[in-house]
Amino acid sequence: MTPSGLVNEMKRITVTPEGCSVRDFLDIYVHESSAAAEEWRADLLNFCLVAWVKHCYTGGPEGAAQLRAEVKQKWDKFCDSVDRLPDIDEENYVTP
């Protein structure tokens, strides 16, 4: 799965109220990431949040470059947190 594919899949499964504004949609990610019990889940939601902010951005090239860098940083942080998860075939693996 690609990073953009993951963002789109998260959008697809995010339950929003009817008539939800972009701000409300982004607030869902902020709330859920701060409430996440698992580091990888919070990192995923933070990555999705910044990816959508970048997608909606209409400012100049400096801001766009800064957002691209932040998207990469959030993606790398998410990947690192996933890499730290135990493998399913490990002896001490506990099913979530």
pLDDT confidence of 1, banded at 50, 70, 90? confident
Q: What is the pLDDT of residues 11-69, one digit of tens each?
A: 888 888 889 998 999 999 999 999 999 999 999 999 999 999 999 999 999 999 999 99
Q: What is the pTM of this model?
A: 0.82
- Over the range 10-19, which residues count as b (16 or more CB within 10 Å of their CB) and which as e? beeeeeeeee
E runs forming strands in the chain = none
Look up tokens 């902020």; give the residue: 30
